[in-house]
Structure 1
């Protein structure tokens, strides 16, 4: 196994409020190495409108940018493959603001009205119906986030309650979302153990795989849970020497079903984290987004060094994990 990548990779999800989000945008601009004029020119080459005066005004304020301007900015900075993640992170902050606006209206950071007016004026002078439509759809999606969050956490039939039973508990469970950012992932029944870097116990594979070890021994690599939108996450491992790798379910050419950190995170497995109704500790099931299976512990083992593996969803205790912010 070889880790690569920047240990401190910029993630839009690290921001917890509008001011923090603007700081992340400022960092992205700095990393691009481009001036405001160059960003404007690059956006034009991309088919976007991004006036340098509007962008400069946005980055001086502490209010959320319009979605269309944000997407154009991210693409111009060269991070276009993650534009949807930036928009999702922005919408999360906007949705959180809406949730508290009834009790604290004065604290609501609004979308920058001046920038929005600039953007509408700029778009009215050119032929850009595609981008105007996208902004409308994105704003509508932001308003639907609370509803979509409930739908995204639908439980599997395996081990779940019969329809109509325990409805209040199910509703409370569906609204629970995992912590993201720097976390530990622990089997719920053995919370002193963490999923971390190890080797398969048969010694048949040379590279690292995910195993459960005492958390006191699992300080390296650090685990970063990265939301990528639509209720999906990447599980990143960050090593001070080896860099970054993303957990990937192995195929038939390796030890099928085990989890290996791969340095190409674009090929890493995306996971859905589904809250479980059977555990009051706030546990989640880890489900690879590409399959209907779950992550569990090989042979339902509770011992140190047991490997994590993709297996049929059973609702058993070995398939429940605690996500704790680190």
Structure 2
């Protein structure tokens, strides 16, 4: 894709969102900065909503799109172009492209049925469908109306951002609530499908490194989970969302917060259970849990849909160590 690919060339919602990601990249702005720029215009554009939406292949609501592109620096004409392209794609019917062959007809009369999932290993076949161009005047009016400001969400979303407990910077132990003799620490994925260090549960008494620190990531209660190793240095636990390690947590030295959404965590207190939390990932509907609800040493910590289950509850306590947690880059 060209760096200058515009929304009008997007052939489907997935390509449209890809162009939104490219617009953000060209803007050079972080999610936090986009939120702040929207707020300066009287609009409310939550960081978690942006981060979650840009991972999807579904069209945003017009108010989301308008706030987003304006925060990225788009002027009125460019904003209108984005809104018109979005409306064009929203008006198109969902079609299936059957594989060519004698048993498949490829005429337009056969382009019905549920949408097929493209093979990620093959390029998407180009196809276009003519749709009436919406008058620019109507889109411009929409831009002005959206400028009034409102909470903006992706389609079908409700705000799922939970209040996070604000921890002081310091050294902590994170223990699965069902197996308090185990701690979340450095280990290896047991099948060998992912070779690098990941988060697992191991006996606390046997752990020497890494040390675990919590650090506030923003003023709204999000937290970095840091590992500090005498040789490897500082690493922020990061949810892997692609490749062979998908769903696992890996320590990474590029602690970039909302620019790497999988590094933001919110600790939601479990009612009537002191020091016990569900750990949400970056404002999504996912939480940390133990793979397959296992209680054995070595079981991996993974991202999984949030549920009211003991396997997703963790005890978080300060170690009482008084030395200062090293500052980033220090």
Q: TM bucket by the smaller chain? A: 0.3 to 0.5
What's the TM-score once normalised by structure 2's chain length?
A: 0.45
Greater share of residues in helix: 1
Query: Could you say which structure has the greater relative contact order, defined with CA pairs below 8 angstroms and 6 or more residues apart?
Result: 1
The structure whose Rg is larger is 2
What's the TM-score once normalised by structure 1's chain length?
A: 0.45
